[in-house]
Structure 1
Amino acid sequence: MVGARQLLVAALLASVLSERDGSRRLYTNSWAVHIPGGEADAGRIALKHGFINLGRVFEDGHYYYFKHKRVSKRSINPHHVRHRRLEMEPKVKWLEQQVVKRRQKRAFSVPSDPLYYKQWYLDPNASFDINDNDPDPQPRYNFNDENRHGTRCAGEVAAVANNLCGIGIAYNARIGGVRMLDGEITDVVEARSLSLNPQHIHIYSASWGPEDNGQTVEGPAMLASQAFLRGITNGRGGLGSIFVWASGNGGFQYDNCNCDGYTNSIYTLSVGSTTQLGNVPWYSEACSSTLTTTYSSGSRTEKQIVTTDLRLRCTEKHTGTSASAPLAAGIIALALEANPTLTWRDMQHLVVRASKPLHLKADDWAKNGVGRKVSHHYGYGLLDAGLLVDLATKWLTVNPQRECSIDISKSQQVISDKLVIKKYIDPCSQAKNYIRSLEHVEVRVSLSYTRRGDLRISLTSPSGTYSKLVDVRPYDTSPYGYRDWTFMTTHSWDEDPQGIWTLEIENKGSSRNSGVLSFFKLHLYGTDENMMARRIKDSVISHCNNWNVDGICEECHGTFVIFGHLCLATCPPRYYNISRTLNKTVNGVRTSFTVDACAPCHSSCYSCDGYSVNHCLTCPLFSNYDENHQSCSTPIYPRRSGMNGRNNEKHGLYKVAVLVTILIGAPVALMCGITSLSWLIYRLNTRQTVMVATSLTAASETTQLRVQRDTTDEGTGGSETESTYFITQLDQQKDN
């Protein structure tokens, strides 16, 4: 086994925000700003407009985090003046005033983040306090220990073998903590948390997400989406960061994790829960994006999860999918310890193969097109740690990801009782992105509906695999439907996508419901390899025959190649095979011999046959390949952001309210203005003073004139131009 893997536990800190007003967006005094010119330009622009530049959002990018002390920390209105001034800067390419997000930890107490320094070594390079912008992520203590969530999650992963509370799954792993839920949660906060030190951290474990209330439809905003894209492209030396996500605890509210854009992302590995006895937990959310399952709490008679707790204590009461995701993260850490060259997609392939139905009880187990059993409650079943580690040592890297997108329907179609759309697809068969074996399937739709929660939407693959994309959500009364929302299924993994795909949208509520489907697009992801025909090797890792004083391997057995301190069957992505001549002295005789070793490609290449920029064979995701120069372009990350159902609805209502206010208020304001002006002219003509404000302390007051400059900036969206107020007091006459 190689050295321990780094793991970031992002199941994070403190209490959920106290704002419970679901009718308004709350704007903060912070902005995300894209300035490609670099640090110097960002600092100059921030200083010019009175902002504080808190640094880059991403280590390798040009998005910056600005704050302004004279803007209200919370406001129901955006600050247009500050925004426009930044927007007018030529070097500012994009900006967004940050809004407060409501996030929920996925356990049954209001919980938080990790720093349990008495029990494990908290890696400072994998830790940070995003909320307070300092390196100490220690949880905030209070009387009810509400900030214990991350400490409990971290203990499951990496609690050391020291005779306290048991041990973590990967007790040799190093672990870090990110405090990001114990304060204002914005897109920048999430993005910085999910992109912290991605060359040092290998696994990000998250047990939080949008509210599991059965009515929210929300995904990551632009910067958090960018964090995922950058992580899987550049993290872990280009092999891809691994994001492990708790599927959600909204089962009691009939929630569906496909309405959560974090856990239904193809870039996250979504983990569900089962109980000690293999039952579906009462809090479990059934959806087609869940990939695997681990144990957690259940009924009162079933055991819960044992782990570490705050104040040097242990607990036997860790619960929910919050407890399941860290168990999966620990098991994945063991697999990376066995084979650190696995890509993020390799890990998902292995998890599918290492998850088994076993004794898990559910009424929807079904075989997919390649004969694997899959369930909306459990994904492919209970994750087997031993099997995953064994497969990790025998797995050859999967071919690069291919994507094929097909517009199925662009014309509006009425949704009455049931809408069925069938389409034969030969997925990009004549193109370079031809797919033979599926991985993820995304269904992107935009539809309106009078009561969104009454819809059941499903997708059936050419092999007959049925994926329930979303089921009835009785608490979801939204009349706005799904606006450019993406559902995802993993149930057709390794199937051949060629054939007839069927989308069904069914009304399960009142016959008075109605709606319109505006568009439906199918995104297929996979590989050109027939994965079911793949033969598992005896081993892709071998022991090194000889190390140098630095621990670097100098000689491998047989045909294996040197990769650092390991011997591999083939070089991993981002490396190529090169022959090296080494000298060796045996019994006083110096001899030379040739070995095969892995050398790094140019950073722009995914695979290569040499070290330079013009030796690329394939490119990373989001890069384009130039065949003439055998080179790859700089990645251009798509600006994807998940629909925020609540915010979209609020924003629409806000626009309506503003329009109504203008239509009604403008005539009233005009009449008031004319009346006031007429009165002012009359009073001036009679040589009396205008009263703007009075404070009567006697029958007669002396007139005062005060001039003041408006220096306060409450972030209400009004003009910030200098204002002069004339406050006078009118002579008053006693009534006789």
Structure 2
Amino acid sequence: MEYCISLFIFFLTFLNFNSDHSNEVRATSEVFTNSFLVKLKQSVDKTLADEVAKRNGFINLGSILGNQKEYQFLQKALPHARSKRSVPHTRRLKIDPLIHTAVQQTGFRRVKRGNRLLNTENLLTLNNKFMKVQVGPEPSDPYFQYQWYLKNTGQNGGKPRLDLNVEAAWAQGITGKNVTTAIMDDGVDYMHPDLKFNYNARASYDFSSNDPYPYPRYTDDWFNSHGTRCAGEVAAARDNGVCGVGVAYDSKIAGIRMLDQPYMTDLIEANSMGHEPDLIDIYSASWGPTDDGKTVDGPRNATMRAIVRGVNEGRRGLGNIYVWASGDGGEEDDCNCDGYAASMWTVSINSAINDGQNAHYDESCSSTLASTFSNGAKDPNTGVATTDLYGKCTTTHSGTSAAAPEAAGVFALALEANPQLTWRDIQHLTVLSSKRNSLFDAKGRFHWTMNGVGLEFNHLFGYGVLDAGGIVALAKKWETVPPRYHCEAGSIGVTQEIPSDRSILLKIKTDACSGTEYSVNYLEHVQAVITVNASRRGDLELFLTSPMGTRSMILSRRIHDDDNRDGFTKWPFMTTHTWAEYPQGTWLLEISFNSQKPQHGWFKEWTLMLHGTREPPYEKLSTTDPHSKLAIVKKAHEEHSSLTN
């Protein structure tokens, strides 16, 4: 049932990616790659698919998501990117008696987040001899002293104890055993002495070169060190005299090389996110559409199918966890315009620096669930200490690129503590165990706010900084949350002009599908699927207010976005700020311009999608701490239940 519901939501909210491509691609000239999606008239095995490809002059790169009717064919006679479709090659495929359709794949840009070029002053050359050091109360690795995000003692101007609290998880005997995290990136140096014993070769693959060896391509500036740095944050070995230690140092990492190419395609993304879903538990992505403050882009058809399949079928039905860096566009961008980070299927992670304030490159949005860490406060070059290419180490890894793998490591600890956790359990645990701690907005724009059931959130940091000790302790006693349902709570499709000098207010009153099989009584994600355009898209601001009074900014002003044509077409703006609230009542959508110059626009459509549970999600859980988030929400739910009954 949940799988069917998921596919329905996918087709509803992401249909525009199929028909319209993305706003980014349409705004520039299209690029066509030498890759083709070939749909056959019947299911065939690899041998026959190879024959079909060969007789038409192509190479078969394999099936798409295990579907034996869909294959990726490569045409080596074409360049990787060109400005026109190859009509002759497409026609040749289409006339084959076994081929139903053939579509040449468009190329688009995907960028690494927080990537820094080589800084030789922050590298340590290591002896490749693997030195086992006796385990002490804390790791003996030489770079552990610089890993303030694991243990903040005030080094580099940090605030003591503002860290991921990993030692509390390790003290419970949880170190990530039997959990694999895939680093979807530019490759992983799997021969690094701090990674090689935690490398899962069976779960790894190179989708850029189409072979099982995702080793980074050499460049003089070490541009392809990004994935190796991310991998070390998750699973660098402990007490071996090399670099530092990973958050989940006994877990495994897989390398999925897919980012190192001029243009990305839908099929490469889909195959990467759907690779070995029963061997891989967590997929970590520190990249996305261009963080330029004007791009609106997200997953295409096959990629969305891969993610939906992963959360419904991966990990033998428990669901894969997709961790996403929220973006490095700073206050001039909004991560709700990134369809990967803003997806309800992913866990969007922002970053803080070591004194608690947000980093200057942090984007804000209502879809961010939690935060981890990136830079030091006094010295911006003091970033995350981790592994680097060719057996070296660095202390300059930074950006939300660094934040996402830290979160993946924390989730690996939670999965060892309780291997039966579903992908939704991980999100619930994140909300309930993350801490406000000392996190604050350096410019005072976004304050900590309490939602309708007493959960504190921040537009920058989500529900706070991940607490490894807290999430592990809660995971050990966790009871799987009730089944998820979705409700199309209502829609408004009457075109209205958006004036320059005032807001327009739209209301949907809903019973949240009460009395039907789709009834939602306790919220998880809320999507406002909106079609709107404007004379200047970047000056639009959107706010969504729940029946319990929680006001979410679902789109902020973006000063670099000059679009006056595309607007947003069925774009699923998502908020997590109403988590665990009751959805029945009136929802308010506020649309306005934030501009010095007069602007005008047209609202065309708003559909409200509610996702959550019918039954109370935490009814079976108990807590002895009356001040914990769990106790606060349980009390609110019990009071609500007694009033409604």
TM-score (norm 1): 0.68
- Secondary structure of 1:325's aligned partner: helix
Shift of 1:89: 5.6
The equivalent of 2:237 in structure 1 is 160
Match of 1:411 among 479, 485, 494: 494
Q: 1:93 to 1:385 in 2, by over 3 A?
A: farther
Q: Bigger shift: 529-538 or 157-166?
A: 529-538
1:282 corresponds in structure 2 to 360
Q: 1:378 aligns with which of 461, 464, 469?
A: 461
Tell me which of 320, 334, 354 is aligned to 1:241. 320
Q: Is structure 2 residue 295 aligned with structure 1 residue 216?
A: yes
**Match of residue 119 from structure 1:** 194
Among 544, 549, 552, the residue aligned to 1:467: 552
Secondary structure of the 1:38 match is: coil
| Superposed CA offset, 1:103-152 (max 9, x none) | 11111426943124222232111211110001111112222211111111
Q: Which residue of 1 aligns with 2:310?
A: 231
Shift of 1:59: 2.8
Comparing 522-531 with 324-333, which one deviates more in the overlay? Answer: 522-531
Among residues 57, 70, 82, which one is paired with 1:50 in the alignment? Answer: 57
Give 1:313 shift: 1.3
Aligned-residue offset at 1:228: 0.2
* CA distance in 2: counterparts of 1:358 and 1:315, whole angstroms: 27
Aligned counterpart, 1:177: 255
Equivalent positions of 1:328-727 (< 5 A) are 328-362=407-441, 363-417=446-500, 418-479=503-564, 480-509=566-595, 512-531=598-617, 533-536=619-622
1:437–1:496 Cα contact (<8 Å) kept? yes
The one-letter amino acid paired with 1:138 is Y
Note closer, same or farther for the CA distance 1:434–1:318 as it changes in structure 2 (3 Å cut).
same
Letter of the structure 2 residue corresponding to residue 28 of structure 1: T
Kept after mapping to 1: 8 A contact 2:25/2:108: no
Is 1:317 the counterpart of 2:420 in the alignment? no
Distance in 1 of aligned mates of 2:577 and 2:96: 48
Contact 1:394 1:537 in 2 (8 A): no
Q: Shift of the alpha carbon at 1:533? A: 4.6
CA distance in structure 2 between the partners assigned to 1:350 and 1:177 by the alignment: 27
Query: Identity across aligned pairs (percent)?
Result: 43
Residue 125 of structure 1: SS of its match in structure 2? coil
Structure 2 residue aligned with 1:28: 33
Return the offset for 1:81. Answer: 3.7
Matched, 1:296 2:374: yes
What CA deviation, in whole Å up to 9, does each residue of 1:29-85 have, x standing for no partner?
111123342236644543443322111121355321011233343221222343345
**Partner in structure 1 of residue 222 of structure 2:** 145
In structure 2, distance between residues paired with 1:297 and 1:61: 46
Q: Hey, what's the Cα distance between the residues in 2 that align with 1:510 and 1:44? A: 62
Q: Give the AA of the match of 2:407.
A: A
Whichever structure has more helix as a proportion of its residues is 2
Q: Distance in 2 between matches of 1:176 and 1:312?
A: 18
Does 2:111 match 1:104?
A: yes
Q: Distance in 2 between matches of 1:403 and 1:91?
A: 39
Matches of 2:452 and 2:618, distance apart in 1: 11
Q: Residues 204 and 270 from structure 1, CA distance in 2 versus in 1: closer, same or farther, beyond 3 angstroms?
A: same
C-alpha separation in 2, matches of 1:114 and 1:73: 23
Aligned partners of 1:395 and 1:536 also within 8 Å: no
Aligned counterparts of 1:390 and 1:342: Cα–Cα separation in 2 = 13
Cα drift, residue 513 of structure 1:
1.7
Matched, 1:135 2:212: yes
Please give the secondary structure, in 2, of the residue aligned with 1:492.
coil
Q: Which amino acid aligns with 2:194?
A: Q
Match of 1:198 in 2: 277
Residue aligned with 2:359, SS: coil
Residues 440 and 447 of structure 2 are in contact (CA less than 8 Å); yes or no, is this contact kept in structure 1? no
Q: Does residue 68 of the first structure (1) align with residue 75 of the second (2)?
A: yes
What is residue 139 of structure 2 aligned with on the other side?
Answer: none
Q: Partner letter of residue 382 of structure 1?
A: V
Q: Secondary structure at the match of 1:197?
A: coil
Distance change >3 Å, CA 152–CA 407, structure 1 → 2: same
Residue of structure 2 equivalent to 1:37? 43
The superposition leaves residues 295-315 of structure 1 with CA deviations (integer Å, 9 ceiling, x where unpaired) of 111544364211111121111
Instruction: Provide the C-alpha distance between the structure 1 equivalents of 2:623 and 2:315, rounded to a whole number of angstroms.
Output: 24
Deviation at 1:467, TM superposition (A): 0.9
Q: CA deviation at 1:430?
A: 1.8
The question of whether the paired residues in 1 share the 8 Å contact of 2:277 and 2:314 is answered with: yes
Task: Please say which structure displays the higher CA radius of gyration.
Answer: 1
3-state DSSP of counterpart to 2:358:
coil
Change in Cα spacing, 1:438 to 1:109, as seen in structure 2 (3 Å) is same
Q: 1:223 to 1:431 in 2, by over 3 A?
A: same
Aligned-partner Cα distance in 2 for 1:460–1:330:
34
Distance 2:568 2:440 in 1: 32
| Contact map agreement 2:43 2:68 (CA 8 A) in 1 | no
CA spacing shift, 1:345–1:90, aligned 2, 3 Å: farther
Which residue number in structure 1 is paired with residue 333 of structure 2? 255
Kept after mapping to 2: 8 A contact 1:32/1:188: yes
Cα distance in 1, alignment partners of residues 267 and 623 from structure 2: 43
Kindly indicate whether the alpha-carbon contact (under 8 Å) linking 1:37 and 1:91 is maintained by their aligned counterparts in 2: no
The letter of the residue matching 2:417 is: A
Deviates more, 1:237-246 or 1:33-42: 33-42
- The two structures, once aligned, show a CA RMSD in angstroms of 2.1
Given the two structures, how large is their TM-score scaled by the length of structure 2? 0.77
Q: Does the CA-based 8 Å contact 1:156-1:330 persist in structure 2? A: yes
- Other-structure match for 2:130: none
Q: Deviations over 1:195-221 (max 9, x none)?
A: 111110100011010010000000011
* Deviation sequence 1:433-476 (CA, Å, 0-9, x none): 10111100111111121110000011011111111111000000
8 Å CA contact retained: 2:546, 2:578: yes
Change (3 A) 1:93 1:536: farther
Question: Structure 2 CA distance, aligned partners of 1:258 and 1:506?
Answer: 17
Residue 344 of structure 2 aligns to a residue whose secondary structure is: coil
Letter in 2 for 1:529: E
For 2:483 and 2:304, how far apart are their aligned partners in 1? Answer: 21
What do residues 206-247 of structure 1 show as CA deviations (whole Å, max 9, x unaligned)? 101001000000001111111101101111001001101111
CA distance in 2, matches of 1:310, 1:339: 33
Q: For the residues of structure 1 that align with 2:79 and 2:190, how far apart are their CA atoms?
A: 35
Distance 1:395 1:61, change over 3 A: farther
Pair 1:342–1:152, CA change in 2 (3 A): same
Distance change >3 Å, CA 87–CA 507, structure 1 → 2: farther
